[in-house]
Structure 1
Amino acid sequence: MSQPVAQHSVPAASGRTARRGRGNPWLTLIAVALGVIMVTLDTTVVAIANPAISRDLGASLPDLQWVTNGYLLALAVSLITAGKLGDRLGHKPVFLIGVVGFALASAGIGLSKDIGLMIALRVVQGLFGAMLQPTALGLLRAAFPAERLNLAIGIWSACIAASTAAGPIAGGLLVQHINWESVFFINVPVGVVALVVGGLFLVNARGGDRGSSFDIPGILLLSGTLFSLVWAVIKAPSYGWGDVKTLAFLGAAVVLLAFFVLREAKAREPLLPLGLFRSVPLSVGAVLMMLMAFGMFGGMFFLTFYLQSVHLLSPVQTGVRLLPMMLAMMVASPAAGGLISKVGPRVPLVAGMVFAAVAFLGLTHIGVEAGFWAMTPWFALLGIGLSPVLVAATDIIVGNAPVALAGVAGGLQQVAMQVGGALGTSVLGAVMTAKVANVLPGHMKDAGLPVPTPAQVDLMKEAISQGVAPVPANTRPEVARLLVRASNLSFIDGMHLAFTASAGIMFVAALLSLLVRAGRQVEGAAALV
């Protein structure tokens, strides 16, 4: 049985400092939540601003994809390195630098008049965003005792859910009544508040070996691995999963990962100590986080198309429809944190995965004309199910790492979520497109329309997979109505299959959750080599 490593905790505050609130766990939670809320708001509002950005800056579809993909690539590649930076230099300065950089990059994007500059600044945003999320978890790990960490993570998750819920509504209102630039400018005042609160109340928690050098070869190998993997996943829908370019990037990711593992096994001061993965809960937690993100982001990806393209709702109306899920997460996340403190992570994890699976299966029964109340129970159940998974998986990743590596563990948690979400969106997107191509001829035949040729199906399936009916110009209204109906039914069939796959992933994750140790977390449970 491995021995726990020595812990590095936040120094006790002096009486004067304590009276001012510096180092107070709950004020620490408020400070880091503000920073992460800024990132979450930005993530959720950009998609709503894309049509206006395209119109004002003359951006093409590939340009708009880069607005999102440039940010995602920079974020995913930098997370673990940023976490290591916080462990080595201190989480407080890295977090505050991330806040300032993210807010300034947001202001620059709002002032941009060129799509190329905007994409470059989105990459900068991703780099600074990577400084915020793992260091936020590192600060929480150092500020809260082990038995209260999951409650703090639950409240932190509720803040993320709240900002996720507010994003589409606030973004829609800003774009509709002001302009698209305002969705980026809103990060500036949030960043200022986060900077002030963080400067006043955060304590500079950090690990040991402060003067040692960084693992530059490890950073380069891991960055190359994550870039190749995320790039392959992002581009697979357009390249094709069997295309040589997709396979080349996936192969490069595997080769670079092998070299990274060899490097870390021999390095005296590794970027990601492999001994972390000797903790079964930590390893299982990372896999569960990836599976949860695969099902959640992959399944939820299609709901936006369903509500906006099939139901023809505005972005604001779409946000309102999704509120039951977000509100359920806001309420259930802190409750899940308290429950995990009492009974341990295993039961909440299994129950949460099962609830999420049942919710996805329930969503396979909604049709083209489904109303608000037909969807609301399943959205609420999905929020209730995802909450304990997000809280418990985060807790067993960060809580089973030593305080000295809390930033690296936070980066690992975020990488698992980002990679899982990207995989879910791409893989389930391919599943849906294949299903649409399979059922479209039958639905068109049932509608009394000419059966399309395979070549015509190939031209139509991408648009239908996004809920858009490919109706040619000058089509007679009665024919257009039948074509829209056939397209919507094909979309629904594909979405149902994606939800079924998400449910299957959640059931598999529920079984995997049984490997998580019952009982409370132990401070510094993981050992290093």
Structure 2
Amino acid sequence: MTMPTTGRRRDGQQPSRRGRAGMRGHPWLTLTTLSVGAMMVSLDGMIVTVAQPAMQSDLGTDLTGIQWVTNGYLLAVAALLITAGKMGDRFGHRRIFLIGVVGFTATSVAIGLSTQLGWVVGLRVFQGAFGALMQPATLGLLRSAFPADRLNMPIAVRSAVIAASTAAGPVVGGLIVEKADWSWVFFLNVPLGAVVLCLGAAVLRGGRADGATGRFDLVGTVVLAGALCSLVWGLTLVPDQGWSHPGTVVYLLVAAVLAGGFVWWQRRADDPLVPLRIFRSARFSVGVVTMTVMGFVMVGAPFVLVFYLQNVLGLTPARSGIQVLGLTLLMIVGAPPTAFWISRCGPRTPVVLGLTVTTVAMVALSRLDAGTGTLKMTLFFFVLGLGFSPIMIGGTKLVMSSAPVELAGVAGGMQQTAMQIGGSLGIASAGA
């Protein structure tokens, strides 16, 4: 990509001065660095899921105890994504991203060396906090490295990397647990973290955006974290207890009250955590809703389908994993052409068609029964995967390109939080 060497770019950022900075700030090297970081976080999540049975046996705990290995991580991520994005806007996305990489890698080593469940769960919470620092920063750094009208391909590449990591996670995790032990699931993050840290130190350029101030909304941070934790935790109870159980209802009500209090405070705070003016953009609001739907389907559908493949059709775990690969393979293959498509006609038509295709696929999958052949089922999976790329890339483009550059971190946090909440809703609905 040819970048000007003087003046300002259209997105308001100072242009990269290649002659003085060398690799620092190069858009495509920035994309490579951030993609490896996104791969590390995504791969870790899938591998840990596969390793949980071995961890349960080795740590001598029950199913409820081992679930906290995942729940503790997810709660930390859900509570801090938007706050982490704001921190990037205030203090620099590069700094926040590198802190996240160091912390994520260090806690991974500590978890691998742990022999007690309490330490593993506590360290997973810290790992989730550092993972939350990394995720919005990747989108914030992309937004500052590429003009808004050229974000399609970077977002497509990042989405394809995440899809590939999601697909490879169960395979890699299975091999590690089979050939070594569960601790190496976490030690794998050491070489990946070292690569990301070296690349990030050499390549990334991300000071505070123009217009960002140094003040921080601590009240908003605490209230929003409480609301998101209550919501996610309440949704995790739904598969076992149902929507009407008193425990579920209490957590969801607390989430609703805190969410209302958060909105009230944001209208009055001098420097709000999430400036509500960002939602005046219809494109931004539609993008957030689209990412919530994406998370709902992308997480909820496989949750049910894996049980269907193994418990109804009697497939082995390995065979069922191969069947579900169609969902992610189409995202990988479809990402580049989708980016070109969005560049030519904008995100509106691709997102609408992607949602339509996904709806058709979900209706077809809802009609599966014990007599459905694997060929027909695989076709439905491919159709579902075909709809994912335009939703993911188009929805992310709507969110990131509609937000001001000084709020790129908040926008990235909103995008990630929307998918997190959508995924929790998907599992809760499917489980119920």
Q: TM-score range by the shorter chain?
A: over 0.9
Deviations, residues 225-268 of structure 1 (Å, cap 9, x unaligned): 11111111112333332122222221111111111111111111
1:218 counterpart (217, 220, 244): 220
State the AA in 1 paired with 2:13: S
Aligned to 2:20: 16
Question: Residues 401 and 202 from structure 1, CA distance in 2 versus in 1: closer, same or farther, beyond 3 angstroms?
Answer: same
Question: Residues 230 and 14 from structure 1, CA distance in 2 versus in 1: closer, same or farther, beyond 3 angstroms?
Answer: same
CA distance in 1, matches of 2:333, 2:161: 10
CA distance in 2, matches of 1:298, 1:161: 16
Q: Is contact 1:10-1:206 (8 Å) kept?
A: no
Deviations, residues 417-436 of structure 1 (Å, cap 9, x unaligned): 00011011102211xxxxxx
Aligned to 2:171: 169
1:104 Cα deviation after fit: 1.3
CA distance in 1, matches of 2:347, 2:61: 46
Query: Would you say how many aligned residue pairs link Structure 1 and Structure 2?
Result: 423
Q: Is contact 2:238-2:431 (8 Å) kept?
A: no
Deviations, residues 472-518 of structure 1 (Å, cap 9, x unaligned): xxxxxxxxxxxxxxxxxxxxxxxxxxxxxxxxxxxxxxxxxxxxxxx
The answer to which of 100-109 and 238-247 deviates more is: 238-247
Q: How does 1:464-475 map to 2 (within 5 A)?
A: none
CA distance in 1, matches of 2:123, 2:297: 30
1:284 is aligned to 2:286: yes
State the AA in 2 paired with 1:334: P
1:398 counterpart (400, 405, 408): 400
1:113 counterpart (89, 112, 115): 115
Aligned to 1:69: 71
Aligned to 2:301: 299
State the AA in 1 paired with 2:277: G
Question: Residues 184 and 370 from structure 1, CA distance in 2 versus in 1: closer, same or farther, beyond 3 angstroms?
Answer: farther
CA distance in 2, matches of 1:183, 1:251: 37
Q: How does 1:36-435 map to 2 (within 5 A)?
A: 36-209=38-211, 211-368=213-370, 370=372, 372-430=374-432
Question: Residues 197 and 311 from structure 1, CA distance in 2 versus in 1: closer, same or farther, beyond 3 angstroms?
Answer: farther
CA distance in 1, matches of 2:43, 2:293: 23
Aligned to 2:3: none
Give the RMSD, CA atoms, in angstroms.
1.7
CA distance in 1, matches of 2:118, 2:304: 29
Deviations, residues 263-285 of structure 1 (Å, cap 9, x unaligned): 11111111100000000010111
CA distance in 2, matches of 1:356, 1:216: 40
Q: Is contact 2:304-2:430 (8 Å) kept?
A: no
TM-score calculated relative to the size of structure 2: 0.94
CA distance in 2, matches of 1:30, 1:179: 30
Question: Residues 172 and 368 from structure 1, CA distance in 2 versus in 1: closer, same or farther, beyond 3 angstroms?
Answer: farther
CA distance in 1, matches of 2:99, 2:264: 32
Q: Is contact 2:302-2:324 (8 Å) kept?
A: no
TM-score calculated relative to the size of structure 1: 0.77
The answer to which of 378-387 and 74-83 deviates more is: 378-387
CA distance in 2, matches of 1:136, 1:265: 28
Structure 1 unaligned spans of 5+: 1-5, 431-529
CA distance in 2, matches of 1:14, 1:292: 38
CA distance in 1, matches of 2:14, 2:77: 28
Q: Is contact 1:289-1:394 (8 Å) kept?
A: yes
State the AA in 1 paired with 2:360: V
1:320 Cα deviation after fit: 2.2
Aligned to 1:443: none
Deviations, residues 388-407 of structure 1 (Å, cap 9, x unaligned): 10111111111100111100
Deviations, residues 128-158 of structure 1 (Å, cap 9, x unaligned): 1101110000000011112210221011100
Question: Residues 116 and 234 from structure 1, CA distance in 2 versus in 1: closer, same or farther, beyond 3 angstroms?
Answer: same
1:360 Cα deviation after fit: 1.9
Structure 1 vs Structure 2: percent identity of aligned residues? Answer: 48
State the AA in 2 paired with 1:190: L
1:75 Cα deviation after fit: 0.2
Q: Is contact 1:10-1:142 (8 Å) kept?
A: no
State the AA in 1 paired with 2:288: A
